[in-house]
Each structure stands twice: as structure tokens, then as C-alpha cells.
Amino acid sequence: MNPNKKTTINPEGLMNAPRFGYSHAARVGDTVYCAGQVSGADTLEKQAQEALSNVRVLLSHAGAQVADIVKVTIYSTEEDCWERTADIRREFFLPPFPPITMMVVKALATPPLKIEVDVTAVVGCG
């Protein structure tokens, strides 16, 4: 088996990514790259929880776990996102916390989206 072969991950229950021309995640060797995860929930907090839940599903299907996350990027249309999602992040990410970059953006893929989360993980490092 080629350790550098790319394997895509598109679990059932998440949006049909291939229909839109992408994959939810890809694993190359021990590294897992997750596409931005979103939610159709009505509030920023619920969207954050569901997006992180999707991340957990992706990592599980890739043979990884939340502790294996080495980098997080969060995009939000809400200027107070950092403060409003602090408790949610502390519940999801355990020490030692991964590096997180948060950016406030004008818009995401569709107007109802308030937050999008993408991560990179290295299987077994956590």
C-alpha cells in the first residue's frame, strides 16, 4: 500500500460533497485535511456545535480523533464569534489546545451560514 496515496472521506449523513465537486476530507499518510464544515442551524452557537460535530465524524472516518487536530481555521460572519464560541471550543478541544486562527469574513457560501470550521489532523499524534 502506498503511504502517500490520497484517500477521500465522504461519510453518509453529511452533505453530498461529491455532488458539489469536492470531498469532505482527504487523508494522505497520517495527515487528514478536512474541508470547512458548516451547519444549517439558526444560531451561531448551534452552527458551531454542529460544524464541530461534523469534524468529529470526519476524523473518525479517517481513523483520527479530536486530540489529533494540529491546526484549526474558523471563518465567521459574526464579529463577536470568538467570544460567543469560547465555551463551545473549550468543550470540544481539550488541552493541549490546537492552534486556532479565526477570521471574520463578509460572507460564507450561502447567506444563512454564520461559521465554517476546517481542521488538519495527524493520526495518532494526540
Residue 4: predicted pLDDT: 85
CA–CA distance, 64 with 15 (Å, rounded to integer): 20
Residue 3 has pLDDT above 80, yes or no: no
Structural domains of the chain ordered from first start: 6-122 (3.30.1330.40)
Instruction: Kindly report the three-state secondary structure assignment for every residue of 90-106.
Output: HHHCCCCCCCEEEEECC
pLDDT digits (tens, 9 = 90+) for 15-38: 888 888 999 999 999 999 999 999
Which residue did the predictor score with more confidence, 25 or 2? 25
Do 116 and 51 form a contact (C-beta atoms < 8 A)? yes
- Where does the pLDDT of residue 1 fall: very low under 50, low under 70, confident under 90, or very high at 90 and above? low
pLDDT in tens, 75-104: 999 999 999 999 999 999 999 999 999 999
How far apart, in whole angstroms, are the C-alpha atoms of residue 58 and residue 25?
7
Q: What percent of the chain has pLDDT over 90?
A: 90
Q: Please compute the mean of the pLDDT values over residues 68-73 and round it to a whole number.
A: 98
pLDDT of residue 2: 73
